[in-house]
Structure 1
Amino acid sequence: MKQPNFQKSLIAAAVATLLGSPAALAQQNENTEAQDGKLERIEVTARRTNESLQEVPVSVSAFGEQELEQSGIEDITELQFKMPNTTFQVSRGTNSTLTAYIRGIGQQDPLWGFEPGVGIYIDDVYVARPQGAVLEVLDVQRVEVLRGPQGTLYGKNTIGGAMKYVTRELTGYNEFEIKGTVGSYNQRDLKVSGQTALADNFYVGGAFATLNRDGFGEFVNTGDENYNKELMTGRLNAKWLVSRDVSVKFAADWTEDDSNARGGHRLLPSLLSTEPALDDVFDSYTAMPTDNTVETEGYSATVDWNINDAWAFKSVTAYREGYTDTNIDFDSTVNPVLLVPAIYEDEQTTQEFQLSYGSDRFDFIGGLYFYEGEACGVFGTVLGLLDLTIDNGGCVDTSSAALFGQGTYQLDEQWAVTLGGRYTRDEKDADVYRYTYAGVKFLDRGDYSADPIVVNSDFNTKEDWSKFSPHASIRYQMDPSLMFYASYSNGFKSGGVDMRADVSLNPDAQNPYDPEVVDTFEIGVKSELLDGRLRLNASTFYSDYQDMQVTVQRAIPSGVASQVLNAADSTVKGVEVEGTFAATSSLNFTGSIGYINAEFDEVAFFNPDTQQVEDVSGLWSFANTPELTANLGFNKEFSLASGSLVWSAAVAYRDETQIFEVPSPLDEESYSIANTSVVWYSNSSNWTVGLHAKNVFDEEYRLSGYNFGSTFGENIVTGYYGDPRTVSLSVGYRF
């Protein structure tokens, strides 16, 4: 079977740079021999309903199952190299905790009880915590990434944007697929999926994967693997067609990650250890066990009822829970200078009711949303050389309810106006404790029973907030292939409580902090040129970012002082261009470019050393927000007697990046990553063989780290790095 021309890639080139002026575009059109390589229509659910990408007045990127397969993408973090102004990375010291930023807004600190700035969704279910949110590509139909505040339809904590992981739809056909992969560092992956019909109106399906790889390095003093992978994940789903107008979907998913906790690479020489410095950034030392477990599971039931030709109702009921038990050696030496064992637990129950209406001129969607969640945790700050341990823990209960609605009215054949809003009420009840003990205490894993020598914090607090998030946009469809839009969106990230609060150092630390708010204005254009062979979308945005929640951790002689304040206001503005060009019926070019200018206007920072509030806006910059991001790629299809062969390659550029708000030795210089793949499809369409090379030139690049400077008698500056060059071979069979 001849494969499609892979036009479903959304991410696109700075095509204007490639092709030049309109005259050059016209010349290219005249000189191209193949005129049948038109781009396919891309449908997205960015506004909670199926729409063409080119008709949605939202900055959104979409990646279909076939594109993910051809690029060899294994998890969602690899998508950051395909989008403008976006950061998806594995958090420091972990294998499956997500650090996500869009347009400068995200979550630096993955501590329990803290809220993300980018909403993660599996189908229509919100995933509240970043632990386990590095989703593997399994049983997926497409991934959509919405940039900019999505507060009206998606609610709180989508202040930067949202990522939607859309799973395969059950069709009732008999399908089975198995794929095995081997590769560098003894990679051994197996994925199995399938579906069938148990009755004319009842379908079932499922998928399972076991993903394993040796470490890129090792803990030299123990022999344990560093940056290894040992993960299992699965999904079961069912669909019941109750009647012609009513269907019920059930879904369950689970993930267990037993990869070792990651060890960092020291950027400064040790003041205490006699072991030699390590040249390989993936090698490390440790003074604690490398055990790590992350478990997540979720269940959902979705009811769809087509009331009549105009009205429809949907109910989404879901439950999710997660558990993390991990160890982090901050100083990465054989000495117990700064060790942190930690346990996180969370659970959430959500219920959403949607009512939608559609007619020739007016479309509307509205509903109610309810969230109940509990996030608990405990971690120890073990200062072995000082013979002290600080235990920090507690729980935060969250109740949230929202009423939302958004409607679009078609004024005439060209003009359409959208208005919407969401009213949210949040309530949080938190208890926090922080105790200092004499001696070394690893949470509750030993027989340590001494009383604390200092009670740093022990309090309960509660607070509630209400917020209305409006949205307005206007769309002008100049002709079927050219659309302009302008929009205003408001979003907010929920307020909360500092779960590390040390009242003995800062009496105000027990006071809840308020939500942070962003107002974004955006102007964009979506176009399809050259008789449908060039898709070129662009937007420019301006964001007023207020009451930013600033989390600062600073080493002091008795431990680590933490604070969260609504301490900052900033301005964020930028430009994004995406495009896809079908040069011929078998050759496509894709790429994107993003520029962002994010500056702090004011930062009121409480200095625990001076006990004064200081404006440090002149010293701070946005974290995880490179000024320039770009990518450029192509895919070429070759017809063979045995089938078809697709060769694809891409290079992605990321500008210099500051890891934290304050400059540090961890900050990363600009770098480029090149990937290439070759995938063969048999004529019968049953067999596929893929050869994938990632980070072809073995670029060394730092993603994150810890920076406590010279404290506790040691230099504590450690970095964590992106994957080195890897090569993998996969063989798949499907029917």
Structure 2
Amino acid sequence: MSRMIPSARSILLAGATVAALGAAPAFAQDVTTQDDAATTPIAQEIAGDEIVVTARRREESLIDVPISLSVVSGDLLAEQGAPDITALQDRTPNLTLQIARGSNSTMIAFSRGVGQQDPLWGFEPGVALYIDDVYVARPQNAILDIFDVERVEVLRGPQGTLYGRNTIGGAIKYVTKKLGNEFHATARASYGSFDQIDLVGTITAPITDTLSVGGAFAWYQRDGYGENLTSGVDQYDKDVMAGRVSVEWQPTYNVFVRVAADRTLDKSNPRHGYRMEGNGGLPAYEPLDSVYDTRAGAGDDNRVMSQGVSATAEIDLSSELTFKTVTAWRNGNTDTIIDFDNTPDPILDVPAYYEDRQFTQELQLLYSGERLQGVFGLYYLNSRASGAFDTVAGAFGLTILTAGTVDTKSYAAFGDFSYDLTDQLSISVGGRYTKDDKTGSVYRQNFAGIRSPRFGNSAAVPGLLRTDYTNDRSFEQFTPRVSLSYQPREALNFYASYGKGFKSGGFDMRGDAILTPTTVNGYEPETIDSYEIGMKGAFLDNTLFFNLAGFYSEYKDQQVTIQSPAAGGGIASFVDNAGRAEIYGFEAEARMVPSRHFSANLVVGYTHADYKEFFTYIAGGTTPVDVSDQRVFQNTPKWTANASATWSEDLAGGTIAFTPAISMRSDISMFEYASPLDQDSYFLVDASLNWTSADDRYRIGVAARNLTDERYRVGGYYFPGAAYGNSIIGYYGPPRTVTGTIEFRY
């Protein structure tokens, strides 16, 4: 069901994927030049003769893909002690991948300056997450753990042609392991700092020659990095259970069917923050000993659940033509609370509830001829995102209840085809037409009292109705992509490409029709035009592998969420289409493999993002003002870098490998304006030591992360002023941790 690749290309691609799985994507290595390489950890990453990726929605060789792309194996992430997919941030250039402020499992992703920090229902992410071929529309519980995953592909730049409307910054593809038709099982147990306990198990059982069933289960438990000094419960703890079951059926050589279901339940305590500034007129408290401690008094209830079912079928209609269908349903719900002031009193508390569900259907027709390869597809999404939250302003004895829903129906047709003009020169042309129909309902009302009836206070007295409307809008866009590739030799590829990205418009679920009457009209889509040139190659007798990509993007009508205190205890929220920006930069990735006992990686990313126009309302004005000279891009460090090396030796019937790594991120702004929450540049130092048996059945490992115990902010809330308790609140990345692991494979 996949395009066969000639033997020489297979060898090239095997090496390319080895390098990619070692955190430097799309490299090439001819492992036949090293007689004894088969026993090394590097060679163990090679899985068969044919290595393929699905970055362009069809199976093809990694070296042929004219996209800046990183691929990291699940095994490598596990060996290096990655807590979850946020570890990709350390090894992928120009990527920010973090747990959202005030959350344990909500994903915030930015790539090349493009993303979305606000996870409220109705807002669309700028970097899309896919589990296999299924788009995950909402960021809640999207911080996926490392279990039953074959690889993660990170595609940088707009992917709107093949992946749709919300891949304006890129896409992250979490690819799970297929079952196959042989019995195997794995068990992994880890114990680490803060009484961390991870238990992961998988099993595959063939029922017949054509039918296999399998499952994976993971349980993650960890005490907190800090403590809530008001309630006594742990802060930054972890309590997650996740499972996945699947069935694969291949009744004939040309038919393959897979049905999979997954469920994740996160019952970790809500993640409260650390007060950065003063008391704002509140009682004086002793300074906290740790940035992971808090005095939040809003409560400790938190529950996040997500689940889904998918069915995938592939039918080879001929040697050149394959039909594929992907049907999926997902839903999730969240009960949580955010204490914005982080004091025992209800100065600024927000209990919240989220619920979402989605149905998607995708049909693909894939063609693989001698010179022409490509895919044509149709896509449909039907989704609802809804929720409610209280904004409790205790100093005013006031609560504002906000609730609403957004229903979305999305239709798309897409195609992408590559044609080999010569043996060395090929062109790829694609496009996607997308139409979104959205219906938004927003309700917002004042209540006298602490919390509204929706969140437990039946005695609250209804007051001013601030927002109550239902509106619908349609958005449509054509997003083309074209690229040209030139391969002067088999291990060297030059390419140039242009692509357009599109993120749908919508309705502001926080919109206050009294403070901002135009909120009932919604906001417009944002678009990006991106140009990229790149090179992927192997040099010095296949001991040095080097990738380089340069990009330039024109970003228009960027959707920016602005929240600021308002008179009377409210918070004014509105979505601006900011105007126009230019983004340019590069990504360089190098890997050196001089011998089977040593390898080294270097990854460097640079992003320069500059607003050219940023129109917004300020100081209660009624005319938009251009403040582009006062605005910066959030979650976008100019420089990102990672360096690592691996030494390995034969030992006791296996191989022992030691890998130190250091990553750097330059200064980061948390918002589009300067604030005390902005994070200075910082370095993180990690190291891992793993012994693997020669038959790959046993592994014993130790992984240390953030060895220097660096304190660095990953998010925050900024509500200065006495009425809001001077709520300038920071959230922090993990401290130093050490984890030991034993793994068995049968």
Deviates more, 1:719-728 or 1:61-70: 61-70
Give deviations 1:439-494, integer Å, cap 9, x for gaps. 11255242515552100000011000110000000000111111100000001111
3-state SS, counterpart of residue 406 of structure 1: strand
3-state SS, counterpart of residue 454 of structure 2: coil
Q: CA deviation at 1:532?
A: 2.1
8 Å contact 1:81–1:631 — kept in the other structure?
yes
3-state SS, counterpart of residue 429 of structure 1: strand
Alpha-carbon distance in 1 for matches of 2:724, 2:251: 68
2:319 to 304, 309, 319: 309
1:643 aligns with 2:654: yes
Alpha-carbon distance in 1 for matches of 2:382, 2:453: 28
Alpha-carbon distance in 2 for matches of 1:454, 1:572: 44
Q: CA deviation at 1:81?
A: 0.3
Q: Residue 302 of structure 2 corresponds to which residue in structure 1?
A: 292
**What letter corresponds to residue 402 of structure 1 in structure 2?**
A
Give deviations 1:632-689, integer Å, cap 9, x for gaps. 0011211012321111111000001001001100000000001000111124432211
3-state SS, counterpart of residue 706 of structure 1: strand
Give deviations 1:129-151, integer Å, cap 9, x for gaps. 11000000110000000000000
Q: Residue 552 of structure 2 corresponds to which residue in structure 1?
A: 542
2:451 to 435, 438, 441: 441
Q: Residue 23 of structure 1 corresponds to which residue in structure 2?
A: none
1:404 to 395, 409, 414: 414
3-state SS, counterpart of residue 510 of structure 1: helix
Matches within 5 A, 1:74-153: 74-153=83-162
Q: Residue 205 of structure 1 corresponds to which residue in structure 2?
A: 214
**What letter corresponds to residue 146 of structure 2 in structure 1?**
V
Alpha-carbon distance in 2 for matches of 1:209, 1:713: 41
Structure 1 residues 702 and 443: CA distance shift in structure 2, 3 A: farther
3-state SS, counterpart of residue 88 of structure 2: helix
Q: Residue 494 of structure 2 corresponds to which residue in structure 1?
A: 484
Q: CA deviation at 1:733?
A: 1.3
Q: Residue 634 of structure 2 corresponds to which residue in structure 1?
A: 623
Q: CA deviation at 1:383?
A: 1.1
Deviates more, 1:360-369 or 1:66-75: 66-75
Structure 1 residues without counterparts, runs of 5 or longer: 16-29
Q: CA deviation at 1:114?
A: 0.2
Q: CA deviation at 1:55?
A: 1.6
Q: CA deviation at 1:6?
A: 5.9
Q: Residue 676 of structure 2 corresponds to which residue in structure 1?
A: 665
Alpha-carbon distance in 1 for matches of 2:724, 2:113: 35
8 Å contact 2:450–2:457 — kept in the other structure?
no
Deviates more, 1:505-514 or 1:364-373: 505-514
1:44 aligns with 2:53: yes
1:214 aligns with 2:223: yes
Alpha-carbon distance in 1 for matches of 2:434, 2:724: 48
**What letter corresponds to residue 274 of structure 1 in structure 2?**
A
Give deviations 1:139-171, integer Å, cap 9, x for gaps. 000000000000001111000000000000111
Structure 1 residues 510 and 326: CA distance shift in structure 2, 3 A: same
Q: Residue 586 of structure 2 corresponds to which residue in structure 1?
A: 575
Alpha-carbon distance in 2 for matches of 1:506, 1:713: 21
1:502 aligns with 2:512: yes
Deviates more, 1:703-712 or 1:423-432: 703-712
3-state SS, counterpart of residue 685 of structure 1: coil
Alignment size in residue pairs: 717
Could you state the TM-score of these two structures normalised by the residue count of structure 2?
0.94
Matches within 5 A, 1:318-329: 318-329=328-339
Q: Residue 592 of structure 1 corresponds to which residue in structure 2?
A: 603
1:56 aligns with 2:56: no
Q: Residue 25 of structure 1 corresponds to which residue in structure 2?
A: none
1:722 aligns with 2:733: yes
**What letter corresponds to residue 578 of structure 1 in structure 2?**
E
Alpha-carbon distance in 2 for matches of 1:452, 1:614: 36
1:65 to 74, 81, 87: 74
Q: Residue 342 of structure 1 corresponds to which residue in structure 2?
A: 352
Q: Residue 429 of structure 1 corresponds to which residue in structure 2?
A: 439
Structure 2 residues without counterparts, runs of 5 or longer: 1-14, 28-32
Give deviations 1:24-71, integer Å, cap 9, x for gaps. xxxxxx9x9999999868532111122222221000000113322321
1:11 aligns with 2:20: no
**What letter corresponds to residue 477 of structure 1 in structure 2?**
Q
Alpha-carbon distance in 1 for matches of 2:301, 2:392: 16
Deviates more, 1:110-119 or 1:170-179: 170-179
Q: Residue 455 of structure 1 corresponds to which residue in structure 2?
A: 465
8 Å contact 2:58–2:366 — kept in the other structure?
no
Alpha-carbon distance in 2 for matches of 1:242, 1:173: 16
Q: Which runs of 4+ in 1 moved over 3 A?
A: 4-8, 32-42
Deviates more, 1:573-582 or 1:618-627: 573-582
Alpha-carbon distance in 2 for matches of 1:603, 1:8: 38
**What letter corresponds to residue 175 of structure 1 in structure 2?**
H
3-state SS, counterpart of residue 63 of structure 2: helix
2:624 to 607, 610, 613: 613
8 Å contact 1:269–1:277 — kept in the other structure?
no
1:242 to 231, 251, 255: 251
**What letter corresponds to residue 528 of structure 2 in structure 1?**
V
Alpha-carbon distance in 2 for matches of 1:151, 1:493: 9
Alpha-carbon distance in 2 for matches of 1:347, 1:713: 34
**What letter corresponds to residue 653 of structure 2 in structure 1?**
S
Give deviations 1:617-638, integer Å, cap 9, x for gaps. 0100000000000000011211
RCO (CA 8 Å, sep 6+): is it higher in 1 or 2?
Answer: 1
Q: CA deviation at 1:232?
A: 0.4
**What letter corresponds to residue 436 of structure 1 in structure 2?**
N
Structure 1 residues 713 and 114: CA distance shift in structure 2, 3 A: closer
Alpha-carbon distance in 2 for matches of 1:248, 1:33: 39
Deviates more, 1:450-459 or 1:88-97: 450-459
8 Å contact 2:388–2:403 — kept in the other structure?
yes
Q: Residue 292 of structure 2 corresponds to which residue in structure 1?
A: 282
Q: Residue 27 of structure 1 corresponds to which residue in structure 2?
A: none
3-state SS, counterpart of residue 618 of structure 1: helix
Q: Residue 24 of structure 1 corresponds to which residue in structure 2?
A: none
Alpha-carbon distance in 2 for matches of 1:621, 1:609: 22
**What letter corresponds to residue 529 of structure 1 in structure 2?**
F
1:187 aligns with 2:199: no
Structure 1 residues 638 and 719: CA distance shift in structure 2, 3 A: same
Q: Residue 370 of structure 1 corresponds to which residue in structure 2?
A: 380
Q: Residue 240 of structure 2 corresponds to which residue in structure 1?
A: 231
Q: CA deviation at 1:590?
A: 1.1
Structure 1 residues 179 and 91: CA distance shift in structure 2, 3 A: same
3-state SS, counterpart of residue 67 of structure 1: helix
Alpha-carbon distance in 1 for matches of 2:35, 2:480: 49
8 Å contact 2:106–2:139 — kept in the other structure?
yes
**What letter corresponds to residue 711 of structure 2 in structure 1?**
E
1:516 aligns with 2:536: no
Q: CA deviation at 1:557?
A: 2.6
**What letter corresponds to residue 269 of structure 1 in structure 2?**
G
1:168 aligns with 2:177: yes
Alpha-carbon distance in 2 for matches of 1:201, 1:106: 43
8 Å contact 1:649–1:674 — kept in the other structure?
yes
3-state SS, counterpart of residue 453 of structure 1: strand
**What letter corresponds to residue 159 of structure 1 in structure 2?**
I
Deviates more, 1:4-13 or 1:282-291: 4-13
Q: CA deviation at 1:192?
A: 0.8
Alpha-carbon distance in 1 for matches of 2:541, 2:51: 16
Q: Residue 332 of structure 1 corresponds to which residue in structure 2?
A: 342
Q: CA RMSD in A?
A: 1.9
Alpha-carbon distance in 1 for matches of 2:289, 2:135: 42
Alpha-carbon distance in 2 for matches of 1:299, 1:329: 34
1:532 aligns with 2:546: no
3-state SS, counterpart of residue 291 of structure 1: coil
